[in-house]
Chains A and B, each alone.
Chain A
Amino acid sequence: MSRAPATEIIDRLLSDPDISPSIAHIERIPGREASWAGLPGDLDPKLARALAERGAARLYTHQARAYELARAGRDFVVVTPTASGKTLCYNLPVIQTLLEESESRALYLFPTKALSQDQQSELNELSLAGDLGVKVFTYDGDTPDSLRVAARDTGRIVISNPDMLHSGVLPNHAKWIHFFSSLRYVVVDEMHAYRGIFGSHVANVLRRLRRIAAFYGSSPSFILCSATIGNPAQLARSLIGREAAEISENGAPRGERVVAFYNPPLVDPVQGIRKSTATESEALAVRLLREGVKTILFARSRLKVELIASYIASSLANLYTDHGGIKVSPYRSGLLPSERRAIEKGLREGSIQGVVSTNALELGIDIGGLDAAVVAGFPGGFASFWQQAGRAGRRGSASLAILVASSSPLDQYIIAHPEYFFGRSPERALIDPDNPYVFMDHLKCAAFELPFAEGEPFDAGEGEDAASETEEGLAMLAEEGIVRRTGGRWYWSADGYPSEKISLRSATADNVVIIDETGGGGRAIGEMDRPGAKELIFDDAVYIHLGRQYIVRKLDIENRTCHVAEKDVDYWTDAIVKTDIEVLTEDERIMIGEGGRKAAECVIGDVLVRSQAEKFKKLRFHTHENIGYGEISLPAEEMQTRAVALVFPPGTAAGDELGLSSEAMKAAILAGSGKLIHDIAPAFLMCDPRDLGRAERVRDPHFGVGALYFYDKYPGGTGLAEALYRILGKAALAAIERLSGCGCSGGCPSCVGVDFLGPGDTGAAPSAIEGSAVKGRVLALLRALRLTSES
């Protein structure tokens, strides 16, 4: 099927009378020519020849600079969008060095097995390794025993992932003596994936790696590659424990990119209700697919992915034309690895034209080029948005990215302020390698790997504190009987294998396996983390997998299984989660305000959060109307984490403002303010709104007065609460703007919400509270905060 050039299709779509009224903004980002540099002078002729065979007689400027820095043994991070030849940034200097030094080794780390396997084929394809005698091995959970010995002893480049390094390689480092003794480079690709709790863990795994390399007398340099984030050099430093240089000028060429903002039309201006993001995104995607445009649609959650994929499938359904020859597949974690591989292959080879995905596809897996990206709802971060938008675009041709706004305050704010969107710098990726739980987990692993000498720091914190913090941690382990201090060293003295119980990715290592019992069978069709399972696949929940619907018969948390059976239904389910907060510590208490008048108090510390899903709603497909409720009886989830609390004692501006209202009204005001700040804050943090929890108390048991809590949803915290405190001023200003500019009359999802009871459940009946009054009071409260915009 021949197709009009991309720009024509894009323009036609954007000027379509059904679509163009809802287009809030169009930004055209011009394409760019390549910036070239010559091949390095010291390049081995065989390497130069291999490059020439692939059509590369020159390098992009950033590749040349990376070569320089790597060969000089410097640690550095290369910041590049996808498809800009970043693998050559490390392959070239590494292989050149390996050719010159017959014993040297390199370690390549990728966040997932799929990416490692991709890279292995890339290296093989390059045929650099083959012809030049540089042995490359992938070493992960799938590597058969017969290959493992060869990989350890003779592998010059070993490709692996942090999980395997953590539980397979480092605790058995004696078997890797040849490898570690001559380790010259560690390549960390997709560095931006190492944020949040995963990043905090990986930073510690790298601490252990450096420690072990030092034991064998080597000191490898680090080469990191990242997509665009606000703080690449800082993240690199947190990960590797040393300063890293930064290469951010990208020499690769790029086609013209058109970014459009689409705001679903209002169906009820008074109530502020808009057409659903899901259906609007689906319509746009179908339109593009019908024009022959390869399209990826990014949805906000696994559930939405399945919903939208089924909406698309029913729109395209037409047996006569075999659905127009268009195949669209959902893609998310929780699918079996083999299912995901098949979809990636289909996209690359063109047998699949469209995919609906969560941000799981943000990472650099090669799926070939796509022409359009439809982003259904702002993905909670500008860096994420650009990575998602960046999936569209094949070299040289124009591409389209459409942001379809949701009704959340954040999205509505962005739609109204494109200059903010296109002008701002991307968010900073946050990690906290010194999260106490994470730190202690890895201190255990490190003690297992090598005894600690007295006074030896496990690289925690800065300078002299590191040694005493390490000693404090070791002392705790000694009290538990896990290590023994004797003869000037701390020895591991337990019979376990610590890394096998520690997962780098979730709160607990145990996932729930989802088993399909339809027709008496028992086949595993997917899996989910335990806390997620309590909120998504409780008894009687509707679970959607690759477009098929299942009803949950029994969620057996004890045994980590969930039994489902296929059933066609016309609704899906959504749990209502109740949250309880207990303050454990107050680490910092700050008075905020300006001009001598205190506005409110801000407290940062550890809290215990108890979450309970007690009921769920049944929502009809497409219309999303509520058609009933159900009960959930599962034990509560408990976790300790970091939080920041806004406290409103009388005598402060905000406290006095709050004091003007009745108890019931206070509850509504706090719920509304909490929702608004919670929803808007991610614009300034690199997080998903779901990474941040919130709770409100009219009379908080700990503080005795009204309070708003914002807590990190990961146990021990990942730096989110502290970061939120820093940007509170900006968030409050943005919230004020959004609220005063909101056209609804009595509250809507795009500002203070409609559910005034909120998760805190402070007891007043909604009918007693008037929506417009709430809006007004929330505005007053936010203004009273009068926070500076300093951060």
Chain B
Amino acid sequence: MAGKLKGRLARMRELGLVKASSLGSGAGTAGAGKAAAEGSSGKRTAAANVRGEAPRPRPSFLDGWESAGDFVWSRIVRKRDLLPEFIDASPFRRLSSGAASVRGADAELGRVDSYRLRFFDFETTGLSGGTGTVAFLAAVARRDGDCLAVRQLFLEDYPGESAFLDALLGEFDEETVIVTYNGSSFDLPLLRTRCVMNGKKAPARPHIDALFAARRLWKRVYGGASLGLLEREVLGVEREEDVPGSMIPGLFFSYLRSGDEPLMRAVMSHNAEDVASLASLLSRADAAFAKPRAFSGSSSIDRAGLGRSLIAIGRQEEGEELLEAALGDGDEASGLLLSAIYRRAGRDDDRRRLLGMLPDGFRPHLERAKFFERRDRNFMEALAWAKKARRLAPTDDLAEALERRIARLKRRAESDPRRAASRRAGRRRP
């Protein structure tokens, strides 16, 4: 029936049936509530929105920004930050080899001139990677002498996206290496999607996602690896009046509807601070990988994580040193990992020495029992450790397994020549 749907929709609107339907759901913080609460000015702007009115005066938060195209604005902010001459990219690349990176950039990265780095972060209208999520703010930072030059791009309204992307892609020329924080899961796939939506080719550049290294170096020490946390704890930076990330999409929509939103200033600073901290964290991480031994006495870095990472990328000696340092401070897991490494390599002397350093505990005692049984063939010693482990067994299953081990060790100890000798010598064994 012609016009039937339109009539029913119109009637639904009139009767206020709109609310009773699912219309308002699934829209997240459209700011629908905000629009209603805004009173008459909000209503007028919503109506204006529908009628598609002409462009509005420049919003207050764009003071100091320059036009970079239709509906696109740009500015450059300088931050004090001395990056090293070179960054050794290989640890970062190899630690994140499981994650998808920018396609086509398969070159094995080694030492990278820090002028080539582009630290990059988006602010977006949502967290899903779907085609309805738009990036409205981008920050790309690069080294500029002893400073960091942060170029920011702001999308004033949706029609400007093509120009916005052109300006952004222009920052990633041929020799550049993109650095992000969690960009392999979020920012880069989003950039690819926005390029597809606008018929552009996404850049194919090597990519370093600093998150992977950051987790290994700092997560266990500070309980997390979010950029905000590590900025505070590792870099010692306290932001004044920062805006929480969850509010950001809503603020952008609020600006779109009403033409201005003072808090957008804070969003822009937040974005610039994010890339500045990203650059600093990368430097710190690079320093840790460049001279790991210098950190063996440090408690502000996860030495076990650093040690494990070094071993994972083939720097065995340094890794072991860091793991031993961690063990020295009581980290049982590092000790057990080292024991396994030594065991696989047949380095019995190193292992014996290590076992002496292990703290007391169920797994260390078990490890000792295993060593003495298999490598040392000293069943009495092994039995002693097995009994100690049994006393500390945390679950019934493990306790049972140990009972079996103890029984076996008893049998083997019976026929152990050393036991016969010690009996003859009249010594008692535990």
Contacts and interface: CB of A to CB of B under 8 A. Distances in A.
Co-assembled chains A and B: yes
Interface of A: 149, 171-175, 177, 434, 436-437, 439-441, 444, 447-451, 460-462, 465, 468-469, 472-473, 475-482, 484-489, 491-502, 584-585, 587, 606, 640
Contact of B11 (A440, A475, A491, A585): A585
Interface in B124-161: 125-134, 157-159
Contacts of A434: 4-5
B158 A472 contact: no
Interface in B2-24: 2-13, 15, 17-18, 20-24
B52 A486 contact: yes
A450 B131 contact: yes
Contacts of B128: 171, 497
B234 to A, nearest CB: 30
A482 B130 contact: no
A292 to B, nearest CB: 48
A487 B159 contact: yes
Interface string B16-42: 011011111111111110110000000
B129 A172 contact: yes
A469 B23 contact: no
B253 A493 contact: yes
B277 interface: no
Specify which of A450, A472, A478, A481 lies most central, judged by the most chain B CB atoms within 10 Å of its CB. A481
Interface string B194-215: 0011000000000000000000
Contacts of B129: 172
B8 A476 contact: no
Contacts of B8: 436, 585, 587, 606
Contacts of B249: 495
Interface in B303-332: none
Given A450-B131, A486-B157, A487-B159, A497 B6 contact: no
Nearest to B125: A495
Contacts of A492: 132
B192 interface: yes
Given A476-B23, A493-B158, 16 more contacts: A434-B4, A434-B5, A439-B5, A450-B197, A461-B5, A469-B3, A476-B18, A481-B27, A486-B157, A494-B30, A494-B31, A494-B126, A495-B127, A496-B28, A585-B8, A606-B11
Contacts of A488: 52, 159
B145 to A, nearest CB: 39
Specify which of B18, B27, B28 lies most central, judged by the most chain A CB atoms within 10 Å of its CB. B27
Nearest to B159: A487
Contacts of B158: 451, 484, 486-487, 489, 491, 493
A436 B5 CA distance: 7
Contacts of A465: 2-3, 5-6
Nearest to B257: A481
Contacts of A486: 49, 52, 157-159
B6 A501 contact: no
A585 B15 CA distance: 10
A491 to B, nearest CB: 4
A560 to B, nearest CB: 16
A67 B27 CA distance: 44
A476 B13 contact: yes
Sorted nearest first, the 5 A-B pairs with minimum C-beta distance are: A496-B28, A448-B132, A494-B30, A487-B159, A495-B126
21 contacts: A174-B193, A174-B196, A174-B197, A437-B22, A440-B22, A444-B26, A465-B5, A469-B6, A472-B10, A476-B23, A481-B34, A481-B35, A484-B256, A485-B50, A485-B52, A493-B125, A495-B125, A498-B132, A501-B26, A502-B22, A584-B15
Contact of B132 (A440, A475, A497, A502): A497
A640 B130 contact: no
B250 interface: yes
A491 B71 CA distance: 15
Contacts of A173: 131
B29 A149 contact: no
A437 B8 CA distance: 10
A379 to B, nearest CB: 31
Contact of B130 (A172, A472, A485, A502): A172
B227 interface: no
B130 A171 contact: yes
A592 B127 CA distance: 57
Given A480-B24, A487-B159, A502-B26, A475 B50 contact: yes
A501 B131 contact: no
Specify which of A439, A448, A478 lies most central, judged by the most chain B CB atoms within 10 Å of its CB. A448
Specify which of A149, A171, A484, A494 lies most central, judged by the most chain B CB atoms within 10 Å of its CB. A494
Nearest to B30: A494
A430 to B, nearest CB: 15
Contacts of A584: 15, 17
Contacts of A485: 49-50, 52
B100 interface: yes
A460 B253 contact: no
B100 A498 contact: no
Contact of A440 (B21, B30, B34, B46): B21
A544 B322 CA distance: 61
Nearest to A177: B196
A608 to B, nearest CB: 9
Contact of B32 (A461, A481, A587): A481
Nearest to B48: A485
A171 B129 CA distance: 9
Nearest to B195: A174
Contacts of A175: 189, 193
A493 B256 contact: yes
A587 B10 CA distance: 13
B387 to A, nearest CB: 36
A477 B130 contact: no
A497 B134 CA distance: 12
Contacts of B52: 485-488
Given A444-B26, A584-B15, A640-B20, A482 B32 contact: yes
Nearest to B128: A497
Contacts of A468: 6
Specify which of B27, B31, B132, B133 lies most central, judged by the most chain A CB atoms within 10 Å of its CB. B132
Contacts of B24: 480
B49 A448 contact: no
A500 B22 CA distance: 12
B9 A436 contact: yes
Contacts of B27: 444, 480-482, 494, 496, 498
Specify which of B11, B50, B134 lies most central, judged by the most chain A CB atoms within 10 Å of its CB. B50
Given A174-B192, A486-B158, A495 B250 contact: yes
Specify which of A462, A485, A493, A498 lies most central, judged by the most chain B CB atoms within 10 Å of its CB. A493
A469 B129 CA distance: 30
Nearest to A460: B5
Given A469-B5, A489-B158, A478 B46 contact: yes
A162 to B, nearest CB: 18
B131 A436 contact: no
A494 B49 contact: no
B132 A171 contact: yes
A640 B17 contact: yes
B30 A493 contact: yes
A501 B25 contact: yes
Nearest to A475: B50
A584 B11 CA distance: 10
A283 B176 CA distance: 79
B46 A481 contact: yes
Contacts of A149: 100
B9 A480 contact: no
Nearest to A449: B131
Interface string B222-265: 00000000000000000000000000011001001100000000
Nearest to B127: A495
A176 B30 CA distance: 27
Nearest to A434: B5
Contacts of B131: 171-174, 448-450
Contacts of A498: 26-27, 132
